[in-house]
Chains A and B, each alone.
Chain A
Amino acid sequence: MTRLLIRGGRVLDPAVDMDQLADVLLEDGVIRAVETGIEVRGAEVLDAAGCWVAPGFIDLHTHLREPGQEYKEDIASGGRAAVAGGFSAVACMANTDPVNDDPSVTDFILDRARQDSPARVHPVAAATKGLKGVVMTEMSALRDVGAVAFSDDGKTIMDTGVMRNVLEYSRLVNVPVIVHAEDRTLVGDGVVNEGPVSTRLGLPGNPAAAEDIHVARDLTLARLTGARLHVAHVSSAGAVLLIRRAREDGIQVTAEVTPHHLTLTDEATLGYDTNTKMAPPLRSRADVEACRAALAEGVIDAIATDHAPHAVHEKEVEFNEAPPGILGLETAFPVVLDLVRLGELEPLELMRRMSTAGARILGVSGGCLAVGQPGDVVVLDPEGRWTYDPAKGYSKSRNSPWAGQELTGRVIATVVGGNTVYHSDRGVLVG
Chain B
Amino acid sequence: MIGRDLLGIEDLERSDIERILETAERMQEIGERQVKKVPTLRGRTIVNLFFEPSTRTRASFEIAGKRLSADVVNFSPGASSLSKAESILDTALTLDAMDPDVVIVRHKVAGVPKRLADSLRAPVVNAGDGAHEHPTQALLDMLTVKQEKGRIDGLTVTIIGDIAHSRVARSNIYGFSKMGAEVRVVGPPPMLPADVESLGVKAYISLREALEGADVVMALRIQLERVQGALFPSIREYAATFGLDRAKLRYAKDDAIVMHPGPVNRGVELSHDLADHRPSVILDQVRNGVALRMAVLYLIAGLAPGEESAP
A positions within 8 Å CB-CB of B:
194-196, 198-203, 205, 207, 271-272, 313, 316-321
Set of chain A residues within 8 Å of B80, measured between Cβ atoms? 317-318, 321
Set of chain B residues within 8 Å of A195, measured between Cβ atoms? 194-195
Set of chain A residues within 8 Å of B195, measured between Cβ atoms? 195-196, 199
Are B114 and A202 touching (Cβ within 8 A)?
Answer: no
Our pick among A201, A271, A316 for the contact of B132 (Cβ within 8 Å) is A201
Are A318 and B194 touching (Cβ within 8 A)?
Answer: no
Are A319 and B111 touching (Cβ within 8 A)?
Answer: yes
Q: What are the 5 A-B residue pairs with the smallest beta carbon separation, nearest first?
A: A272-B111, A202-B132, A202-B131, A317-B81, A316-B87
Set of chain A residues within 8 Å of B299, measured between Cβ atoms? none
How near does chain B come to A184, taking the closest CB pair, in angstroms?
Answer: 16
B positions within 8 Å CB-CB of A:
10, 80-82, 87-90, 107, 109-112, 114-115, 129-133, 164, 167, 170, 193-196, 198-199
11 contacts between A and B (CB under 8 A): A199-B164, A200-B199, A202-B111, A203-B130, A205-B193, A313-B87, A316-B81, A317-B80, A317-B82, A318-B81, A318-B109
Given A316-B88, A319-B111, A202–B81 Cβ distance below 8 Å?
Answer: no
How near does chain B come to A404, taking the closest CB pair, in angstroms?
Answer: 14
How near does chain A come to B133, taking the closest CB pair, in angstroms?
Answer: 7
The chain A residue with its CB closest to the CB of B165 is: A202
The chain B residue with its CB closest to the CB of A272 is: B111
Given A199-B198, A200-B10, A202-B132, A320–B193 Cβ distance below 8 Å?
Answer: no
Given A316-B87, A318-B88, A202–B133 Cβ distance below 8 Å?
Answer: yes
Our pick among A207, A316, A319 for the contact of B110 (Cβ within 8 Å) is A319
CA A201 to CA B194, docked complex, whole Å = 12
Set of chain B residues within 8 Å of A207, measured between Cβ atoms? 194
How near does chain A come to B281, taking the closest CB pair, in angstroms?
Answer: 26
CA A205 to CA B115, docked complex, whole Å = 20
Our pick among B10, B109, B133 for the contact of A320 (Cβ within 8 Å) is B109
Set of chain A residues within 8 Å of B107, measured between Cβ atoms? 318
Our pick among A205, A271, A321 for the contact of B82 (Cβ within 8 Å) is A321
Are B194 and A198 touching (Cβ within 8 A)?
Answer: yes
CA A316 to CA B81, docked complex, whole Å = 9
The chain B residue with its CB closest to the CB of A205 is: B194
Our pick among A196, A205, A318 for the contact of B111 (Cβ within 8 Å) is A318
CA A318 to CA B88, docked complex, whole Å = 7
Are B111 and A201 touching (Cβ within 8 A)?
Answer: yes
The chain B residue with its CB closest to the CB of A315 is: B87
Set of chain A residues within 8 Å of B115, measured between Cβ atoms? 272
- With most chain A CB atoms within 10 A of its CB, the pick from B90, B133, B195 is B195
How near does chain B come to A160, taking the closest CB pair, in angstroms?
Answer: 22
Are B109 and A321 touching (Cβ within 8 A)?
Answer: yes
Set of chain A residues within 8 Å of B170, measured between Cβ atoms? 200, 202
Given A313-B87, A316-B87, A321-B80, A198–B193 Cβ distance below 8 Å?
Answer: yes
How near does chain A come to B308, taking the closest CB pair, in angstroms?
Answer: 34
Are A201 and B198 touching (Cβ within 8 A)?
Answer: no
The chain B residue with its CB closest to the CB of A271 is: B114
The chain B residue with its CB closest to the CB of A201 is: B110
How near does chain A come to B290, taking the closest CB pair, in angstroms?
Answer: 26
Set of chain B residues within 8 Å of A198, measured between Cβ atoms? 193-194
The chain A residue with its CB closest to the CB of B166 is: A202
CA A65 to CA B90, docked complex, whole Å = 25
Are A199 and B196 touching (Cβ within 8 A)?
Answer: yes
CA A338 to CA B114, docked complex, whole Å = 31
Are B88 and A202 touching (Cβ within 8 A)?
Answer: no
The chain A residue with its CB closest to the CB of B198 is: A196
Are A272 and B87 touching (Cβ within 8 A)?
Answer: no
How near does chain B come to A185, taking the closest CB pair, in angstroms?
Answer: 12
CA A202 to CA B194, docked complex, whole Å = 11
Our pick among A194, A196, A317, A320 for the contact of B88 (Cβ within 8 Å) is A317
CA A194 to CA B130, docked complex, whole Å = 16
Set of chain A residues within 8 Å of B198, measured between Cβ atoms? 196, 199-200
Are B89 and A203 touching (Cβ within 8 A)?
Answer: no
Given A195-B194, A318-B81, A202–B87 Cβ distance below 8 Å?
Answer: no
Given A195-B195, A200-B10, A200-B199, A272–B114 Cβ distance below 8 Å?
Answer: yes
The chain A residue with its CB closest to the CB of B107 is: A318
The chain B residue with its CB closest to the CB of A284 is: B195
